[in-house]
Amino acid sequence: MGERGASALDIVTETVAVLEAHPAFDAGRGAVLDRDGRPQLDAGIMDGPTLAWGAVANVRTVAHPVRLARALAEGDGQARLMVGEGAERYAAELGLPYVEEERLVVARERDRWEHLRAADGFHTSAAFSGEAPRGTVGCVALDADGRLAAATSTGGAPYTRPGRVGDSPIVGAGFWADGTAAVSATGWGEAIATVQLCSRAADRVAHGQAPEDAAGSALEAMRTRVRWPGATAATGGVIALDVQGRGGWAFSTPRMARGGWTPGGGTWVALDA
Ligand code: ASP
């Protein structure tokens, strides 16, 4: 919940922007690399009261994809999801910070790429069931005026085909906010998009489930319904917040780092399973 009048949209934008800048996470600098060894960044953001959203996919020169997504959420509504070169051009027109593609690449991800390139028959879904740390980032917030917002940012899944887009910039899939709940997701994008994981969890909150139960049952629906040959089980993670300020999360991946802040309750983080 915002302190001193910060809006929920500001909170999720600024929180995600900090995480994009940090090389520990698979978002912005530190992103995983595609089969060509290049980063492809995706992000999405949504304002609960207005249902206005914006998203970008496959950008490589935008330092903070979440800020471009935010600009689209607050724009004239004629483009909500922009991809690739057109999105990069628009970011430049808006004067958003440019980043050299090489600056996004860190040694950890270069090594992972070398390893996956040498491995035989890697399936994208396997990235979400192994022990290797992953790091799509997301934030949900409720402000003092009762407004909810959600944002998600990612470098996508490792070693994907260039041009592949996951769930993170897909409204309802990788992010969602309305008058009742704000939700952000991580995990196997192809599965998440199929079950529209975030709007599914939000619907459950709207029907009376606590955020934690909604997150868990939406993930369970994904696991049981998405069973594709050659893929591992459909796993993911969800953070959710309702309009009363009750937060919850669930994950079926081996682990999911998470944290929160409440007025009077301070800040907490958890990195364990
Ligand atoms: N959901 C993201 C994708 O599939 C990846 C992740 O959450 O780590 O693009």
**pLDDT tens profile 184-240:** 999 999 999 999 999 999 999 999 999 999 999 999 999 999 999 888 889 999 999
CA triplet 78, 80, 81: central angle to 5 degrees?
130
Q: How far is CA 34 from CA 21, 117, 136, 190, 273, in A?
A: 19, 10, 15, 16, 27
**pLDDT tens profile 82-93:** 999 999 999 999
Read off the tokens for 226: 């998405």
Q: Strand (E) positions, 48-107? A: 52-59, 81-83
Q: Distance, CA 154 to ligand 1 centroid (Å)? A: 6
Ligand 1 pocket check: which of 19, 58, 152, 188 to mutate, most ligand atoms within 8 Å of Cβ?
188
Q: How many CB atoms lie within 10 A of CB 153?
A: 34
Residue ranges of domains in the chain: 8-179
pTM of the predicted structure, to 2 decimals:
0.95
Read off the tokens for 255: 């682990």
Ligand 1 pocket check: which of 58, 128, 129 to mutate, most ligand atoms within 8 Å of Cβ?
128
